[in-house]
Amino acid sequence: MDEMTNIETLQAGLLAEIDAADTPEAVEALRVRALGKSGEITALLKTLGAMTPEQRSAEGPKIHGCREAVTAALTARKAQLETAVLNQKLAAEAVDMSLPADMPPSGSVHPVSQVMDELAEIFADMGFAVATGPEIEDDWHNFTALNIPETHPARAMHDTFYFPDADAEGRAMLLRTHTSPVQIRTMVGGNPPIRIIAPGRVYRSDSDATHTPMFHQIEGLVIDKGITLGHLKWTLETFLKAFFERDDIVLRLRPSYFPFTEPSAEVDVGYKQEKGRRVIGGSGDDEGHGWMEVLGSGMVHPKVIEAAGLDPDEWQGFAFGTGVDRLAMLKYGMDDLRAFFDGDLRWLKHYGFSALDIPTLSGGISA
Ligand code: PHE
């Protein structure tokens, strides 16, 4: 009888305190006090061992009932308080998304990304799509199909990074040394006419102030019927005028050699020496001017068209390629290529572009 009152009093007292607890921590303290190692209910449970079987079958259910009631109350109160804490936090930390931001977004667009966006915009306006290819290439796409057979000295010239193992077809695997394999992939996979640019990373084992083992190129390819050198020259002139944002760009096509184009031409632009810097524009033959090489180009070699599975009697075209990093340096006045890939925040802040200034022909190509 006495024991009964004790259990009831204990339970009523604990339930009242649990109900009054106002933090999850207070609930936890009550749990320890009631059900912990030396808790009040734990102590009651321990008394069962010393009881006679009759006492135990009378008291046992009461004590267990008490424990269950208190455990349930603790769990419920804890959940209730945790929800309240969460709601309070959500209310306190709520952000009104309709308010104007008090800081512009930080971080900047890398000059290489900026120039690639500019190029995509310029060439999209001339009807070119953007194509991509893998950076891990096989030697067929990177060399053989581009009319660079195994014994060709150009293979050695490219300072190629090779992988130790060949692919399933026995082709040597490498990091592409130029974006020209995208020409092959586009011709093999697509239906002419083709007008694409292919910007991306390329790799050569070479490193100094103007060379890094990884750098960026952009490839251009046009395949159609009746394509001539005139189309090539017009395309490059239109591109360079839009890119450097001036009309006085003068081009000089200089006979050159690439295994995958015939004839081949290196493209120079005229520049003027101004305060120790080269400013693009004007004829390179004028007083105080010079010529600077900016692109490799030519008419796609019939062997390349054939290797890609097209009939060279039906389809002709031109291709060109240039370094994106170099274009960025020329346009935005950086002089050390290595700084492009150092990730120095001060450099990025200085030379980076706002993410919100997207280059458009109507709104201005440079940000
Ligand atoms: N792939 C050549 C290079 O890396 C550039 C090039 C592309 C030349 C297309 C002609 C035509 O130097």
Residue 359 CB less than 6 A away from ligand 1: no
What percent of the chain lies above the pLDDT cut of 90?
A: 77
Residue 319 CB less than 6 A away from ligand 1: yes
Q: How many domains does the chain have?
A: 2
In a domain, 101, yes or no: no
Residue 153's identity, in one-letter code, is P
| Averaged pLDDT, 326-348 | 91
Give the pLDDT confidence score for residue 99 in this predicted structure: 87
Give the pLDDT confidence score for residue 1 in this predicted structure: 41
Give the pLDDT confidence score for residue 5 in this predicted structure: 65
The string of pLDDT tens digits covering residues 307-323 is: 999 999 999 999 999 99
| Buried b / exposed e along 281-310 (16+ C-beta atoms within 10 A) | bbbbeeeebebbebbbbbbbbbebbebbeb
Give the pLDDT confidence score for residue 4 in this predicted structure: 55
Domain co-membership, 199 together with 279? yes
| Averaged pLDDT, 26-45 | 93
Q: Tell me the CATH number at 118.
A: 3.30.930.10
Domain co-membership, 156 together with 291? yes
Q: How far is CA 354 from CA 236, 299, 303, 339, 363, in A?
A: 28, 38, 45, 19, 14
Domain co-membership, 127 together with 191? yes
Domain co-membership, 189 together with 268? yes
* Tokens matching residue 137: 């290439």
Residue nearest atom 6 in ligand 1 by C-alpha distance: 321
In a domain, 310, yes or no: yes
Domain co-membership, 295 together with 328? yes
Distance 63 CA to ligand 1 centre (A): 88
In a domain, 55, yes or no: yes
Cis peptide leading into residue 105 (ω within 30°): no
* Final residue before a domain boundary, out of 92, 119, 150: 92
pLDDT range class, residue 335, cuts 50, 70, 90: confident
* Final residue before a domain boundary, out of 45, 65, 92: 92
pLDDT exceeds 50 at position 97: yes
pLDDT range class, residue 207, cuts 50, 70, 90: confident
Residue nearest atom 10 in ligand 1 by C-alpha distance: 297
Give the pLDDT confidence score for residue 351 in this predicted structure: 94
In a domain, 102, yes or no: no
Ligand 1 atom closest to residue 177's alpha carbon, by position in its atom list: 4
* Final residue before a domain boundary, out of 57, 92, 127: 92
Distance 295 CA to ligand 1 centre (A): 8
CA 185, CA 325: separation in Å to the nearest integer? Answer: 24
Strands 194-203, 129-130: parallel, antiparallel or unpaired by DSSP?
parallel
In a domain, 357, yes or no: no
In a domain, 360, yes or no: no
> Is residue 199 a contact partner of residue 221, using CB atoms and an 8 Å limit?
no
- CB proximity list for 252: less than 8 A, separation 6 or greater: 267, 268, 269, 270, 284, 291
Average pLDDT, the chain: 92
Beta bridge partners of 289: 272
Domain co-membership, 61 together with 200? no
Domain co-membership, 153 together with 9? no
In a domain, 34, yes or no: yes
Distance 9 CA to ligand 1 centre (A): 92
Residue 144 CB less than 6 A away from ligand 1: no
Domain co-membership, 78 together with 118? no
pLDDT range class, residue 240, cuts 50, 70, 90: very high
Q: Where are the alpha helices (DSSP H) in the chain?
A: 2-20, 24-35, 40-47, 53-92, 111-125, 139-142, 153-157, 181-189, 229-244, 302-307, 324-332, 345-351
Distance 259 CA to ligand 1 centre (A): 9
pLDDT range class, residue 10, cuts 50, 70, 90: very high
Domain co-membership, 74 together with 125? no
Ligand 1, pocket-test mutation among 137, 146, 180, 184, most atoms within 8 A of CB: 180
Domain span including residue 124? 111-350
pLDDT exceeds 70 at position 199: yes
Give the pLDDT confidence score for residue 366 in this predicted structure: 74
Q: Kindly write down the DSSP assignment for every residue of 33-82, as one continuous string.
A: HHHSTT-HHHHHHHHGGGS-HHHHHHHHHHHHHHHHHHHHHHHHHHHHHH
Quote the DSSP letter at residue 102.
S
CA 261, CA 319: separation in Å to the nearest integer? Answer: 8
Domain co-membership, 133 together with 243? yes
pLDDT exceeds 70 at position 213: yes
pLDDT exceeds 60 at position 210: yes
* Tokens matching residue 193: 């006419």
> Is residue 241 a contact partner of residue 270, using CB atoms and an 8 Å limit?
no
The Cβ of residue 43 has, within 10 Å, a number of other Cβ atoms equal to 12
As a 3-state breakdown, the chain gives helix, strand, coil percent values, each rounded to 5, of: 45, 25, 35
pLDDT exceeds 80 at position 157: no
* Tokens matching residue 331: 């346009």
Distance 235 CA to ligand 1 centre (A): 16
In a domain, 366, yes or no: no
pLDDT range class, residue 129, cuts 50, 70, 90: very high
Domain co-membership, 63 together with 119? no
CA 223, CA 226: separation in Å to the nearest integer? Answer: 9
Domain co-membership, 80 together with 142? no
